[in-house]
Structure 1
Amino acid sequence: MIKVHCFVSCVCEIIKRTPGVDHRPFYFGVWDADFSVSDEQVLSYHSPHTRHDQFREWYRLLYGVTIESWYNHQQSKEANIDRLIELVETRPSDRQVMVMLDLYRLPERENKFHQNPFPHYVMLEATEDPEQWFMSDPDFRWEGVLPKDRILESVRSPAAAGGFCFDGLDIQHTPAETVAAYFAQCMKAETNPFTDALRQILHAHIGPDARQPLANLPRAFREIPVMAIRKYAYEHAFAWLLEDQGRTAEGDPWFEALCEDIDRLVKTYTQIQYRALKLVMSGNAALLSGVEQLLDEQDQREFSIKDSLQGLFAEWQQQHPDLTVNTRTSALEVLP
């Protein structure tokens, strides 16, 4: 399965290594995971206010593990780096230490989206060499040893500010009731927030309601690829709901057809980005209708995927006749 969200990938890694516990239900919250649109109508997968509170609370409810924030946004960057060093170098074997760094500042690491800056979560451990740290990056399927100073330099980036730690001693098997409640909280059956945001940003740059220069649209759409891959989380949900009923996902024609639809959903977002760039470069307003048509097609495609997923979820519920979905399992509001 494709990794789609660095925070989620990091916290799921320990779940994957726990026999009898499945990490895939946690991906229910990824396909419509939160993002930001600035006052200038610029899309961003991360903002200074991102704390992942909803993910952290549901992780506790699903797996019984509390994710603590060690990064203090009220303190200086150097104070937080001192705290990071302490956590890494005194880390018990069962503790996971996460930090946000700027991957752009580590050119030896692949920056698949070629972004500057590129805030990204990884996990760190000390090694026998005090000048070298071990880095695990589950989202990009990379791990290896890098100079401690180089890692800390990437943490010093103004674009990177965040970190968490959690222990993996008492991971619990997730009750079906909690999975159902999480699905109910995550499923936005009547809206597609990402496509809605792209439509809003587009019309803020061109058309009768435009209030931003058209020349700014490429920057506003720059991070589409980073967020589009989140839609691959649908694959995790379909596969888990099938397999938890004793059915086989891989090779099943229905599942494989859905994966093709999901892949088309992801790749069409890139097509939207390219069409918007062509619109800006040509200055031909007539191209706007083509971008709008693609956005409309994305809505139809994703609503169809969601309908199929809800149908499969209903079948899964039938396997649990005593199941009562309690959407108030958490005091948190629906995931944004």
Structure 2
Amino acid sequence: MSIKIHCLMSCLCEIVKRRGEADHRPFYFGVWDAEFDVTADGRLAYHSERLSHQRRFDDYERLFGLRAERWHDPGLSPERNVQRLLELMEAQPEHRYLLVMLDMSRLPDRETKAGMSPFPHYLMVSKTDRDDTWFVFDPDFRWEGEAKRDDVVAAILAMGEDGAGYSIDAGEVGSPSLELVDAYFRETFRPERNELTEQVRAIVTRAADAGSPEALAHLLPALKQLKVLAIRKYGYEYALMYFQDTLGYSRDHFLKWANRVEDLCQTYSTAHYLSVKIAMTGKKALVETLLESLDEADEIERGIKEEVWRQYDGWRQAKLGEPAPPLPQPAEVPA
């Protein structure tokens, strides 16, 4: 089972799946609460110069022994960085993977999440036996195939100064110990708050309190990326799959909670739809309905987190012979 969640993590996990026997699923622990930004003008952003992936790379090395080396130099021009990529591709051994960020909205015939443009996105590239053609591997969108070199280069250059790229040598992939998986889960699990819902509620409340047509219209750009961020909530399914392998739960049990994850994502879709309607019509009366959908999202997610922790407790007792500590109590939802 493969789920689109986070383009960088999809690339990293695909390398693990293709190069070793390690279970990649623990790497998704905590992705449901992965970092995002709220810009100075109050917009949700899944990509920002203030966000760093270094913690993800550190965790990747810790779990699987694979180090990500940055080949993209922010001090160089976009054109010079493309030249560096070309040089790496010329000398690319079979076990080396080259990751690059590009604006996928610039690639012909490729979809983007929520139809966004620009759409910063990580995928992997390598040479073919034709100079004008590259092999493109996009695990997040479950697509691989040949693409015109000029199209891919144009999409890379479209990122301008915000580009990024990494290389990973995967000659030997390690498997994390059960003790490490246990520690990693507890480090990444945050039951006390649901930050995405909190931030959306704060953005909506500020617009409603201001009350002006301009403030309400700002909800359109402010929450434009909400549906992209909501996709990360599907990461709960990886945790549930991982723990149920030990606990022996039925497929129906898994589907019950997978449906709750789907319900959670649907509440964000509803909230986004309402925000667009408020922004375009100025109907402040819809704000209450929008906030109610966020309350529902908060309630659903707390229930999912309780179930994930309960399954973690069963897994821990089965694998390590010790129960999990009590689940920390959630923080009070801000008014």
Preserved contact between residue 103 and residue 118 of structure 2 (Cα < 8 Å): yes
Letter in 2 for 1:10: C
Alignment of 1:106-117 (within 5 A): 106-117=107-118
Q: Could you report, residue by residue, the CA deviation over 1:291-331 in whole angstroms, capped at 9, with x for unpaired residues?
A: 11111111111011001000110111102336799xxxxxx
Q: Distance in 1 between matches of 2:120 and 2:3?
A: 19
Q: Distance in 2 between matches of 1:90 and 1:53?
A: 26
Preserved contact between residue 43 and residue 223 of structure 2 (Cα < 8 Å): yes
More helix by share: 2
**2:205 matched to which residue of 1?**
203
Q: Could you report, residue by residue, the CA deviation over 1:87-130 in whole angstroms, capped at 9, with x for unpaired residues?
A: 12211100000000000111222224211100000100101001
Per the alignment, in what secondary structure is the counterpart of residue 319 of structure 1? helix
Alignment of 1:1-336 (within 5 A): 1-158=2-159, 160-207=162-209, 213-243=215-245, 245=246, 247-248=248-249, 252-321=251-320
Preserved contact between residue 29 and residue 55 of structure 1 (Cα < 8 Å): no
Q: Distance in 1 between matches of 2:313 and 2:211?
A: 41
CA drift of 1:17 comes to 2.1
Query: Which of 28-37 and 153-162 deviates more?
Result: 153-162
Per the alignment, in what secondary structure is the counterpart of residue 101 of structure 1? strand
Query: Which of 13-22 and 139-148 deviates more?
Result: 13-22
Extract structure 1 runs of 4+ deviating beyond 6 A.
209-212
Q: Distance in 2 between matches of 1:157 and 1:80?
A: 12
Q: Distance in 2 between matches of 1:212 and 1:282?
A: 11
CA drift of 1:173 comes to 1.2
Q: Could you report, residue by residue, the CA deviation over 1:189-223 in whole angstroms, capped at 9, with x for unpaired residues?
A: 11001111111111222215999722111111111
The 1:180/1:54 distance shift into structure 2, 3 A limit, reads same
Q: Could you report, residue by residue, the CA deviation over 1:266-315 in whole angstroms, capped at 9, with x for unpaired residues?
A: 11101101111222233222211111111111111101100100011011
Q: CA RMSD in A?
A: 1.9
Q: Distance in 2 between matches of 1:116 and 1:293?
A: 30
Q: Could you report, residue by residue, the CA deviation over 1:255-276 in whole angstroms, capped at 9, with x for unpaired residues?
A: 1110000001011101101111
Q: Distance in 1 between matches of 2:213 and 2:318?
A: 52
The 1:19/1:162 distance shift into structure 2, 3 A limit, reads closer
Any stretches of 5+ residues in structure 2 without a counterpart? 325-335
**TM-score of the two chains, using structure 1 as the length reference:** 0.91
Preserved contact between residue 26 and residue 181 of structure 2 (Cα < 8 Å): yes
**1:329 matched to which residue of 2?**
none
Query: Which of 63-72 and 316-325 deviates more?
Result: 316-325
Any stretches of 5+ residues in structure 1 without a counterpart? 326-336
Q: Distance in 2 between matches of 1:158 and 1:65?
A: 26
CA drift of 1:158 comes to 3.3
Q: Distance in 2 between matches of 1:223 and 1:317?
A: 36
Preserved contact between residue 97 and residue 169 of structure 2 (Cα < 8 Å): yes
Per the alignment, in what secondary structure is the counterpart of residue 65 of structure 1? coil
Query: Which of 262-271 and 158-167 deviates more?
Result: 158-167
Per the alignment, in what secondary structure is the counterpart of residue 319 of structure 2? coil
**1:333 matched to which residue of 2?**
none
Q: Could you report, residue by residue, the CA deviation over 1:7-61 in whole angstroms, capped at 9, with x for unpaired residues?
A: 0000111211245311111111311111111011001110123331111011111
